């Protein structure tokens, strides 16, 4: 799963790495953010890879009838399983036509050790940013005519260090390397036609335990989390 992430990169840095414009006024340092708070997050849409756009985390399918139902479904669409992406009606169209890449520089998971859970931070060498597969949709509130563009992070079976840490549910975000990024962002091909060609990147992932994370949204703070030595408690 991927419900908590970080992104503390500069706009020039992201532009240089991904050749995509990003509004520096909207890009604020994120050290720890829960998807359950439905934050805005920079993503690159397949239809326009030359810029980052800020979408809300928690996908609202285009067919939702009203705001009440839209609010309810968003908390259930923070993540989308790669293996069953086209089997759920919420993701069937986005999987084919509305794919995107979600930029992060790390994410958080909990490791179960003797029945107790310890938070870990997973990241790439030198804490460089990386992209996660995502799907998005556009929903129009029929009453107010307001437009909502929202997304889900695609997850897959955990491997390597991600499996070692997320050792209960064993899921991880679907990390895109350069080759998989090109395949994923080509919406001229349907998802089921490219599914078997996509392999998540995981071998470079690193991880370390961090200080205790907020246990509820009311306690959530956006501050750097300190690396922790479990041997010292």
Mean per-residue pLDDT, 134-153: 97
Mean per-residue pLDDT, 97-112: 97
Question: pLDDT tens digits, residue range 164-215?
Answer: 999 999 999 999 999 999 999 999 999 999 999 999 999 999 999 998 765 4
Distance CA 14, CA 203 (A): 22
Distance CA 158, CA 122 (A): 12
Question: For residue 182, with 0-12 CB atoms within 10 Å meaning exposed, 13-18 middle and 19 or more buried, which class applies?
Answer: exposed
User: Of residues 224 and 102, which shows the higher confidence score?
Assistant: 102
Mean per-residue pLDDT, 109-113: 94
The structural domains of the chain, ordered by start, are 4-232 (3.90.1680.10)
Per cent of the chain over pLDDT 70 is 91
Q: Are 23 and 108 in contact, with CB atoms under 8 Å apart?
A: no
Question: pLDDT tens digits, residue range 79-104?
Answer: 999 999 999 999 999 999 999 999 99
- 72: Cα within 13 Å, side-chain hemisphere: 6
Confidence category of residue 1, pLDDT binned at 50, 70, 90: confident
Q: Is 152 left (phi over 0), alpha (psi -120 to 50) or beta?
A: beta
Question: pLDDT tens digits, residue range 213-223?
Answer: 654 444 455 66
- Does the pLDDT of residue 124 top 90, yes or no? yes
> What per-residue confidence (pLDDT) applies to 216?
42
| Token pair for 65 | 């009838």
């Amino acid at each position: 799963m991927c419900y908590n992430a970080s992104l503390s990169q500069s706009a020039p840095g992201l532009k240089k790495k991904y050749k995509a414009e990003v509004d520096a006024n909207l890009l604020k340092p994120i050290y720890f953010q829960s998807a359950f708070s439905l934050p805005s997050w920079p993503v690159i849409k397949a239809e326009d890879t030359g810029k980052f756009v800020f979408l809300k985390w928690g996908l609202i399918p285009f067919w939702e009838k009203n705001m009440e139902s839209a609010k309810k479904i968003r908390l259930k669409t923070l993540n989308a399983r790669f293996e069953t992406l086209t089997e759920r009606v919420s993701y069937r169209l986005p999987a084919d036509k509305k794919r995107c890449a979600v930029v992060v520089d790390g994410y958080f998971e909990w490791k179960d050790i003797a029945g107790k859970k310890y938070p870990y931070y997973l990241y790439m060498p030198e804490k460089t940013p990386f992209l996660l597969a995502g799907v998005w949709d556009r929903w129009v509130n029929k009453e107010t005519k307001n437009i909502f563009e929202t997304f889900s992070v695609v997850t897959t079976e955990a491997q390597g260090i991600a499996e070692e840490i997320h050792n209960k549910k064993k899921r991880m975000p679907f990390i895109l390397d350069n080759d998989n990024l090109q395949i994923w962002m080509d919406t001229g091909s349907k998802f089921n036609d490219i599914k078997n060609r996509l392999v998540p990147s995981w071998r470079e992932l690193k991880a370390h335990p961090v200080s205790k994370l907020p246990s509820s949204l009311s306690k959530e703070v956006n501050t750097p989390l300190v690396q922790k030595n479990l041997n010292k408690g």
